[in-house]
Amino acid sequence: MKQYILVMDQGTTGSRGVVYDTTGNVVAIDYAEYKQYYPQSGWWEQDAGDVWQVTLKTSQNAIAKAGITGADIKAIGITNQRETTVMWDSETGEPVYHDIVWGCRRTAPIVERLRQEGYNAMFNHRTGLVLDPTYSGTKIRWILDNVPEAAEKSKQGKLKFGNIDCWLLWNLTCGRVHATDCSNAARTLLFNPYEGKWDDALLAALDVPADILPEVKDSVGYFGTADPKWFGAEIPITGIAGDQSAALFGQACFEEGSAKNTYGTSAVPLMFTGDKAPRTETGLMTLAWGIDGHLSYSMGASILIAGQVVQWLRDKMKFFGKSSESEAMAASIPNNGGIFFVPAFTGLGAPFYDPKARGMIIGITADTTQEQITRAALESMAYQTRDLLEDMAEHSGIALKELKVDGGAAQNDFLMQFQADILNCRVIRPKDIETTAKGACYLAGLGCGVWKDQSELKDLWEADKVFEPRMGDTEREALYEQWREAVKRSAGWARG
Domain ranges in the chain?
4-244
**Known binding-site positions for ADP:** 12, 16, 265, 307, 408, 412
**Between residues 89 and 283, the one the model is more confident about:** 89
pLDDT higher than 90, residue 365:
yes
Q: Please give the share of the chain, as a percent, with pLDDT higher than 90.
A: 83
Are the beta carbons of 128 and 122 closer than 8 angstroms? no
pLDDT in tens, 220-236: 999 999 999 999 999 99
pLDDT value at residue 401:
81
Q: Taking Cα atoms as reference points, which of 258, 221, 263 lies closest to residue 244? A: 263
pLDDT in tens, 245-280: 999 999 999 988 888 998 988 888 998 888 988 888
pLDDT value at residue 298:
93
**Known binding-site positions:** 12-13, 16, 82-83, 243-244, 265, 307, 311, 408, 412
pLDDT value at residue 496:
65
**Between residues 140 and 355, the one the model is more confident about:** 140
- Give the C-alpha separation, 151 to 42, whole Å: 24
Amino acid at position 429, single letter: R
**Known binding-site positions for ATP:** 12-13, 265, 307, 311, 408
Task: Indicate the pLDDT class of residue 1, thresholds 50, 70 and 90.
Answer: confident
- Decide if domain 4-244 falls under CATH 1.10.357.10: no
Task: Indicate the pLDDT class of residue 349, thresholds 50, 70 and 90.
Answer: confident
pLDDT in tens, 446-490: 999 999 999 999 888 889 999 999 999 999 999 999 999 999 999
Q: Taking Cα atoms as reference points, which of 79, 92, 69, 93 lies closest to residue 234? A: 69
Q: Around Cβ 314, how many Cβ atoms within 10 Å?
A: 18
Paired strand residues for 371 = none
- Helix-strand-coil percent breakdown of the chain, rounded to 5? 40, 25, 35
User: Model pTM?
Assistant: 0.84
Which H or E run includes 229?
helix 228-231
Range list of H helices, 272-369: 307-315, 325-331
pLDDT higher than 90, residue 35:
yes
pLDDT in tens, 400-459: 888 999 888 999 999 999 999 999 999 999 998 888 999 999 999 999 999 999 999 988
**Known binding-site positions for sn-glycerol 3-phosphate:** 12, 82-83, 243
**Known binding-site positions for glycerol:** 82-83, 243-244
Cα Rg of the chain (Å, integer): 21
